[in-house]
Structure 1
Amino acid sequence: MNQLQQIIKLVSILLAMMFFAPQVDAGSDTKRVLMVLSGYGQEQGKLTPGYEFDEFAKAYQIFSDNHISIDIASPQGGKVVADEFDPQKPYNATVLADKGAMAKLDNTLATGDVNAKDYQGIFIVGGKGAMFDLPKDVALQQLIKEIYQHQGGVAAVCHGPAALVNVKLDNGRYLVADKAINGFTNQEERLFGKKWVNDFEFMLQDKLQQRGGKFQSSPLMLSHVAVDGQLITGQNPTSTVAVATELVKQLGLTPVESEQYDEDVTMTLIAQFLAGNDEALAQVAAMPEQLPLVGMYGFYYNKVAEQPQQQQHALALMRTAQQALNNPVLDMQIAKTQHKLGFEQEAKATLTQLLSAKPDYQPALDMLKTNY
């Protein structure tokens, strides 16, 4: 083969590499994130709370889709135990089928054995277990401090910010001091954390505020992400995808379009409805498989609603799901809310309809006798 033929062949190879090589975000293969999970959960009997698998799965998928290298750590290392979760949910099923991810969960790195210089970001998963072991993990505090001070991204969701409350920077100040911060709220804890809240050493919102954080939040269980420079925190499980996506951005990458899960779409529509968009309620009403979530949200939102408009919003959400759920407890909550708002005919009609199906339902009989 003469020299000209060799040149032609080389040019052909280079052209093939240019046009047919897979498209990869420049430098994305160099990005590395450490995901941290509570190791507090126990395998037998679920005697202690662990980490939230839903949050882990959603965030893991975001990082994986963006070609970010992922390591998983816990305070003691080894296998970690999640709280009960639905393995049929699409994001959970995807991660459960990922042999690499599951192998890492079965043998997490110990935080004391991890080198902060290997990572451009850290993501702390929530779950009630995070309130017990993560705030006391001195090695984790050092990791968070070093990653932050080397301009890395620090992200945490739900109870994950518990890992931040004792982190001090080299200047002696708490990491969260004077920063926009977010996490599971006192209100959410009192409604959904009753099983373990009395065992906590502190309430997360209170502690973050005591450390000087500028706590911000959205209504009950709606997505809220606080971004303050390199610090990214999310309020609850609904915030997981948004927190992980913000960390991808902080790493200097343009996030790929991620799958939108039905429950997250539903919560977004509920947020839009509560903000005054009535069309959003019609949209969510057209998603029959999501009506149980709509009804449940309306039920709990009503428990914390203080203003008449909030109570009306709660009522509208409960009414949207009423027929599909056919639940007497929900029906009673609807009747009580209608009565509180002065909608007496509607309240009486709700009770009458309930009693037509359950003639001996005592709460409905008592309310009807007392008020009508």
Structure 2
Amino acid sequence: MSRTNTILIALTSHDRLGDTGRSTGYYLPEAAHPWKVFTEAGYHVDLVSIRGGQPPMDGADTSDPVQRAFLDDARIAAQLAATPRPSDVDAAGYDAILYVGGHGAMWDFPDDQALAALARDIYEAGGAVAAVCHGPAGLVNLTLSNGAYLIDGKNVAAFTNAEEAAVGLIDVVPFHLQTALEERGAKHTGADDFQAHVVVDGRLVTGQNPASATGVGEAVVKVLAA
């Protein structure tokens, strides 16, 4: 593929955690830490969200200098204020796409056909598809042009059922991510709860949880350099 030196980060637009009355959104450190890796490797980063506009944010920790740098970056701040929708984005502009987690992704990533088409087109053009924590929700229904699930037969990592139970949301999320990936034919592996775990299978890169975000970014850079 012809390199664009640009990576697309996909964010959820869903802001309610089921019927709990709690808010959710994209998990800031899972966007910020890969962004740091990508930019330090010389890549531009663009953002996209399911509904466009300003996506809801969760997990902010202002004591983390990487998160602060992400939010303070003029280019990122301008994009966060008015993200495009997947249907407004041309896949040809990107070497890779990263699905960022946050529980909101469980509600709006799986069935967004425009987002799935973006990832499919990037992948089939020789680019990388990556996802971290709940971001792999976007892989559950992602099919290639031949109708096969992208993750069928692939080694993957994602937020595990055990981790979902540990955070008390196993009965709140609309489905169990690990189980759904396995039902699509993925070979899911998990580390101990909340420990970093990154899996690379060809041009598919997945990470288990927030602790895996930097590793996912590093793995994407390595895949694109191959």
TM-score of the superposed pair, with normalisation by structure 2: 0.93
- Contact 2:49/2:83, CA 8 A, preserved across alignment: yes
1:204 aligns with 2:184: no
Shift of 1:201: 2.3
Query: Residues 321-344 of structure 1: CA distance to partner in whole angstroms, max 9, x if unpaired?
Result: xxxxxxxxxxxxxxxxxxxxxxxx
What is the identity, as a one-letter code, of the residue corresponding to 1:166? Answer: N
Quote the residue 1:117 is aligned against: 92
Q: What 5-or-longer segments of structure 1 have no aligned partner?
A: 1-26, 254-372
Q: Once superposed, which parts of structure 1, at least 4 consecutive aligned residues long, lie more than 2 Å away?
A: 196-201
- Contact 1:31/1:251, CA 8 A, preserved across alignment: no
Quote the residue 2:200 is aligned against: 227
Report 1:318-337 matches (<5 A): none
Q: Does the residue aligned with 1:78 lie in a helix, a strand or coil?
A: coil
1:247 aligns with 2:220: yes
Query: Residues 6-55 of structure 1: CA distance to partner in whole angstroms, max 9, x if unpaired?
Result: xxxxxxxxxxxxxxxxxxxxx98x4111000001127xxx8431010011
Q: Does the residue aligned with 1:198 lie in a helix, a strand or coil?
A: coil
What is the distance in 2 between the residues matched to 1:145 and 1:237?
Answer: 24
Quote the residue 1:38 is aligned against: 12
- Contact 1:75/1:112, CA 8 A, preserved across alignment: no
Structure with more of its chain in helix, by fraction: 1
1:177 aligns with 2:148: no
- Contact 1:180/1:216, CA 8 A, preserved across alignment: yes
Q: What 5-or-longer segments of structure 2 have no aligned partner?
A: none
Shift of 1:119: 0.8
Quote the residue 1:187 is aligned against: 162
1:161 aligns with 2:136: yes
What is the distance in 2 between the residues matched to 1:69 and 1:86?
Answer: 24
Quote the residue 1:150 is aligned against: 125
What is the identity, as a one-letter code, of the residue corresponding to 2:182? Answer: Q
Query: Residues 73-123 of structure 1: CA distance to partner in whole angstroms, max 9, x if unpaired?
Result: 011111011114211211112112212111111111111111111111001
- Contact 2:161/2:170, CA 8 A, preserved across alignment: no
Quote the residue 1:257 is aligned against: none
Structure with more of its chain in strand, by fraction: 2
What is the distance in 2 between the residues matched to 1:181 and 1:67?
Answer: 27
47-56 or 158-167: bigger deviation:
47-56
Shift of 1:200: 2.2
- Contact 1:184/1:205, CA 8 A, preserved across alignment: yes
Quote the residue 2:82 is aligned against: 107
Shift of 1:160: 0.3
Quote the residue 1:132 is aligned against: 107
What is the distance in 2 between the residues matched to 1:170 and 1:97?
Answer: 39
Between the two proteins, the alignment pairs up a number of residues equal to 221
Q: Does the residue aligned with 2:123 lie in a helix, a strand or coil?
A: helix
What is the distance in 2 between the residues matched to 1:48 and 1:141?
Answer: 25
What is the identity, as a one-letter code, of the residue corresponding to 1:61? Answer: K
Quote the residue 1:80 is aligned against: 55
- Contact 2:29/2:59, CA 8 A, preserved across alignment: no
What is the identity, as a one-letter code, of the residue corresponding to 1:58? Answer: H
What is the distance in 2 between the residues matched to 1:252 and 1:235?
Answer: 23
What is the identity, as a one-letter code, of the residue corresponding to 1:211? Answer: R
- Return closer, same or farther for 1:207/1:68 CA change in 2, 3 Å cut-off: same
Q: Does the residue aligned with 1:251 lie in a helix, a strand or coil?
A: helix
Higher RCO (CA 8 Å, separation ≥ 6 residues): 2
Q: Does the residue aligned with 1:136 lie in a helix, a strand or coil?
A: coil
TM-score of the superposed pair, with normalisation by structure 1: 0.57
What is the identity, as a one-letter code, of the residue corresponding to 1:112? Answer: S
Identity of aligned residues (%): 39
What is the distance in 1 between the residues matched to 2:165 and 2:218?
Answer: 29
What is the distance in 1 between the residues matched to 2:223 and 2:97?
Answer: 11
What is the distance in 1 between the residues matched to 2:195 and 2:174?
Answer: 25
- Contact 1:32/1:119, CA 8 A, preserved across alignment: yes
